[in-house]
Every structure is written in structure tokens, then in C-alpha cells.
Chain A
Amino acid sequence: MPEFRKPHSLTDVPFHYCPGCTHGIVHRLVAEVIDEMGIEGDTIGVCPVGCSVMAYDYFACDMIEAAHGRAPAVATGVKRGNPDKFVFTYQGDGDLAAIGTAETVHAATRGENITVIFINNTTYGMTGGQMAPTTLPGQVTQTTPYGRNPDVEGFPVRVCEMLSTLSGVALAERVTVTDPANIRKAKAAIRKGFEFQKNKQGFSIIEVLSTCPTNWGMSPVEAINWLKENMIPYYPLGVFKEGAIR
């Protein structure tokens, strides 16, 4: 019988994430892909500011902590200086789609050979549940106490759809981790991203629809159901762009 082990690319430091948070699953998927490709020694990860700010303690490859939103620029610097290494960023929605929009869009349009893992949970989790660029219309957060009103706060950003218009993007895929079947699909997408990178075929982004039970004020199971009922209709799963750019 196969033994359930922690991937080698994760350290022994216990995660600090809240119960039911899906960061842990996604960390594990990234680490499994790194293990399976045998590239831990050649991989450099870049962490965001947000709940996964301390991912540098969890991944066993070399890690860099970036300023808020700047991970794609930092990753660009690493990759340009070390074109044969693997470089990934791990970013949340506020980091990637608000303060770091310019860095995201331009790394993508340059076709940087990096892989971006994008956690979309419609919330600024670390600071206590404020409105994110991906917060849904009507969704209540600390800074949209009456629900996000598009007339006031504007509309949520569909990142994969937006980036899929750019010529530098090799992969823009949205997945989720609500159940084993989707988790397997998510892992396959992450693997695809790293493979594009391996072959220097362009920018890859894997958007993972995720939960934040604590800030949503739900149990983990309720959160999973809320994601399925509310997020997937607005953020449909699937591949928005796939194919080597060079």
C-alpha cells in the first residue's frame, strides 16, 4: 500500500493556514509537481504579500519574498539572470490583480518563462477580509459592508480571460480544488505550466479558485459550496489559452 508522505519540496515547517483554507492543498500540488519533475534544486520560488507571505518557510527550494504585487518583476529578474532555472510566483488576488496588475500584465505580455500560481479567493485574507479585485458583485466584505456595488466599487477582474488576449501567454487556465477530481485537474494544469517553462515556451498562469472560510464567516464545507455556487458561475473553469508562443 502506498505511503502518504509530504513532498520532498516542502519543508517540515507546519503551515500556519486556517482550517479549511485551500492554500495547503495548492502548496502541496506545486511541491508534488516539482518533485515529479525532479527540479527542486533548480527552482526558485517568489512569494507575495498576503496570507502566503511565509511560503518561503514551506517550500524547500530557494525562495524570495517580494514586495506587494512585485513578484512577477522579481521573478523576471531571477529568470533573466538564470534562464535555465525554474521560477514560479505564488500570489493572491490583491497582490496579483490590484497592486501588482502592471507587473502581472507586462510579465505576461513579455512572455517571461515563469509560472504564476494565482490564488483567487475574492478576499484580502491576511488583513482581515477586505474587498479584493475579484470580490463578486453583492459580496459582503469588511470594506463592502453592504455588498460590493459595481456602481461604486466597480466590477471584478477576470484575470485568465484578460491575460489570454496577450501574445506572450502560453497557458492561462482556471482550476479549483474543491474535490479530488478538480484537485487532479489543478495539478495537471500546474504541471503543464512548468512544462511550458521547461521548454521556454512562454508565460503560464494557473488561477486556482480558493476558499477563505475564516473571512467568509463559513465552515470549510459551507465555503466549498459557496465557491461552487457563486464563484464558478462568474469565473468559469477551463483553459483560456494554451500553446507555445515560441
Chain B
Amino acid sequence: MERNLMKGNEALAEAAIRAGCKGFFGYPITPQTEISAYMAKRMPKVGGVFLQAESEIAAINMVYGCASSGVRCMTSSSSPGISLKSEGVSYMAGSDLPCVIVNVMRGGPGLGGIQPSQSDYWQATRALGHGDFQILVFAPSSVQEMADYMGKAFDLSDKYRMPAMILADGLLGQMMEPVTFGSEEIHTPDPALKPWATNGHGNKRKHNIVNSLYLQAEELENLVVERFKRYEIVKSEVHEAECYRTDDAEIVVAAYGSVARLAKAAVDLAREAGIKAGLVRPITLWPFPVQEVKDACRNAKRVLCVEMSMGQMIEDVKLALDCRVPVDFYGRTGGVIPKPSAILEQIKILNEKGAE
């Protein structure tokens, strides 16, 4: 299998095409624009649609329409643009529609900056729009994983009929690494698997309706409750984390995405310094890999959560550990990348503190 040197953004786009994505609707924003540029080149050659929308809001609503008709489709943006898309994401969740949304995060709030950030964790895992709902959230940590999780996101989004997000950041989107794609072939999803699609009933079935409006309170409640039962199934079936040198780790670093790479380097440096350090890297952020985090921290005296934010995932880490292990935080925000040496310093400090 040929190794290609690609930017993370390009790997995402190519992987989406191979996963059978036939509709891409986007709007330019740094640092994700390579996805649009790649799609604009490739989509017409594979019989797909690339359309630059008039706004992020229009883009997500085009995805809503395209997904309603049963076509695999996606949009991508960066933090401020994702805020604009939240309306459409809520409608898609309320209409049980699958799609993939990419967020190549940058610093916020507001217009913020354009450098890498992880400050949209809460938005992705808690509230990407109004109402009771969740979306699947995947956090790749390398260009190869950008490709691997794109296909998975489409498959699971279809399977559970809910939107899925690839939560990346400017560092992952812009960096180049070797990547291989599982297959040269372009996947063709079977339309029969989407009997709910509004693609014309052909006078063969009752008309389908894609809708999220329910004016009877009890009816809406029942639907939401049923949806949350489905979320419980998702939670039991989808949970992934990488554990690195955690077997005997007394200091466990918890980090996801690009920062996990930096944390891994810090863990290696700590081991060289004789500290029993390890790393747990959640790959699914919703559902959060509770059991994996618990297992990784079974010998931990202290846990250090490292993020490119003021501390958002740390809440899930604490919940997973039921507050049985002290969880400290180290982060940089606004687009500043934490240095492995700085993470190492934090590990050393915690190692000296011990269990207290």
C-alpha cells in the first residue's frame, strides 16, 4: 500500500471520498480550507458534489437536505463556523439524520485566532445546538487517524442515525505525515439501508417525512426518550482510547488529539527520568471511554489532564474516575501549543507530590 505524504485536512477529504461521501458543502475558513480545496478538485471526478455555500448556515442546511435524501454527505469548518452550524446540527439530531461534520479547531472565543486549539470540547460533547441530543465525536491524533476515523464516522453515523464529528485542530489539519488508505475503491453504500430517505417515493411506498417538529409535549418527550435509549446502546458499543505505558503508571497523563502526541513525548522523557508515567488518550470523546480511562488509571496516584484549552475534558476525566484519584490540569490556550518539556515539568511536580 503506497504511503502518501498528505496534510491532515487532505487526508480527511480523501478518506471521505473513499467512504462514499457524495456531497460536500462548505464555506472557507482557516485552518480547514484545504478540505474544501481538495473536495473541489476531486468530487467532480468521482461523480460527487462540491458546493461552496453562501454561509456556514446554508452549508449545514444543504447537508441536512442532502442527508435527508439518503446521500452520504459532510461539511467542515473551524470553530467560529461550527457555532453557525449549530442550528443545522440540532435539526439533524432531531430528525435522526446521519452526516459528518469536521471541526478543525482554532482559538476562541469570538473570532479568536487561527492557531490550533481544543477549546470546542464542550461544544462538541455537550451542546452543539439547542435541545436534548448528542453527536458522535472522534478525536484523531495523527494524519493516518484522520483518514481512518473519517470512514468510521460515516459508518457509525449511518448505523445510529446521528451526526458524527471529527474533532481535529489546526495542528493536525496543517501537518503532513505519511498516510495509507485501506482500499483504492470508493465505497458505495446500499440505498436500501436508508428506507427513511426522502428521495421520492416512486409511488411504491407511503411518503417519507424528515422532521423535528412535534407540537404535542408527550409525543416529543417519547421521541427524545427513545433517542436517549439509542444513545445508551451507542455508549455500550462505541468507546475507544489508546493506553500508552499505563500498566504500572503512577502518573497518568490524559490528553486527546494533537496534544496527546506532545504528552506522549513528555511521558517518554519522564520514563527516562525514572518516573512511572503513562498516557491515556481518549479517541471517542462522545461517548467518553470511561472504562478505558478507569483501567489506565488503576495504579495512578495522580492524573494530569493536558489540553489546549482552559480545561474542558478534565470534567469527563474526573467523572470517569469518580474523583477517586486527584486530577490536575495543565493547558495552554488561545492557539499556544504546550511544549513537551513543560508537560514534563508538570509530571515531575505531580510525581513529587505523590498521593498526598
Contact = CB atoms under 8 A, between A and B. Distances in A.
Given A81-B66, A81-B69, A66 B200 contact: no
Interface string A161-203: 0000000000000000000000000000000000000000000
A63 to B, nearest CB: 5
A40 to B, nearest CB: 7
B25 A77 contact: yes
Given A63-B208, A76-B62, A77-B63, 14 more contacts: A41-B200, A41-B202, A41-B203, A46-B65, A57-B209, A62-B199, A62-B208, A64-B209, A65-B95, A80-B49, A80-B51, A82-B71, A102-B54, A103-B57
Given A56-B211, A62-B207, A77-B62, A67 B87 contact: yes
A215 interface: no
A43 interface: yes
Contacts of A67: 61, 64, 87-88, 91
A77 B64 contact: yes
Contact of A64 (B22, B49, B210): B210
A61 B58 contact: no
Given A41-B204, A62-B208, A67-B91, A78 B198 contact: yes
A52 to B, nearest CB: 12
A68 to B, nearest CB: 9
For the complex of A and B, 6 pairs with smallest distance between CB atoms: A77-B65, A77-B66, A74-B65, A73-B61, A77-B62, A62-B198
Contact of B200 (A62, A77, A105, A106): A62
Interface in A38-92: 40-44, 46, 53-54, 56-57, 59-67, 70, 73-82, 85
A65 B57 contact: no
A65 B208 CA distance: 11
Contacts of A78: 65-66, 68-69, 198-199
A11 B208 CA distance: 12
Interface string B89-115: 001000100000000000000000000
30 contacts: A40-B201, A41-B203, A42-B200, A44-B68, A44-B200, A46-B65, A61-B207, A62-B207, A62-B209, A63-B209, A63-B210, A64-B198, A64-B209, A65-B213, A67-B91, A73-B57, A73-B59, A74-B68, A77-B65, A78-B66, A80-B23, A80-B49, A81-B22, A81-B69, A81-B70, A81-B71, A85-B69, A103-B57, A103-B61, A106-B53
A interface secondary structure, majority: helix
Given A42-B202, A82-B200, A70 B88 contact: yes
Interface size class of A (residues with CB under 8 A): 35 or more
B210 A61 contact: no
Contacts of A79: 65
A80 B66 contact: yes
Contacts of A106: 53-54, 58
Contacts of A53: 213
A1 B88 CA distance: 50
Contact of B58 (A56, A62, A65, A102): A102
B66 to A, nearest CB: 4
Contacts of B212: 65
Given A63-B207, A67-B88, A103 B71 contact: no
B30 interface: no
Given A63-B207, A64-B209, A82 B58 contact: no
Nearest to B54: A106
B67 interface: yes
Given A44-B200, A62-B200, A78-B66, A73 B209 contact: no
Contact of A82 (B55, B69, B88): B69
B57 A70 contact: yes
From A60, A61, A65, residue with most partner B Cβ within 10 Å: A65
B124 interface: no
B58 A81 contact: no
B241 interface: no
Nearest to A105: B54
A78 B62 CA distance: 7
From A41, A56, A76, A102, residue with most partner B Cβ within 10 Å: A76
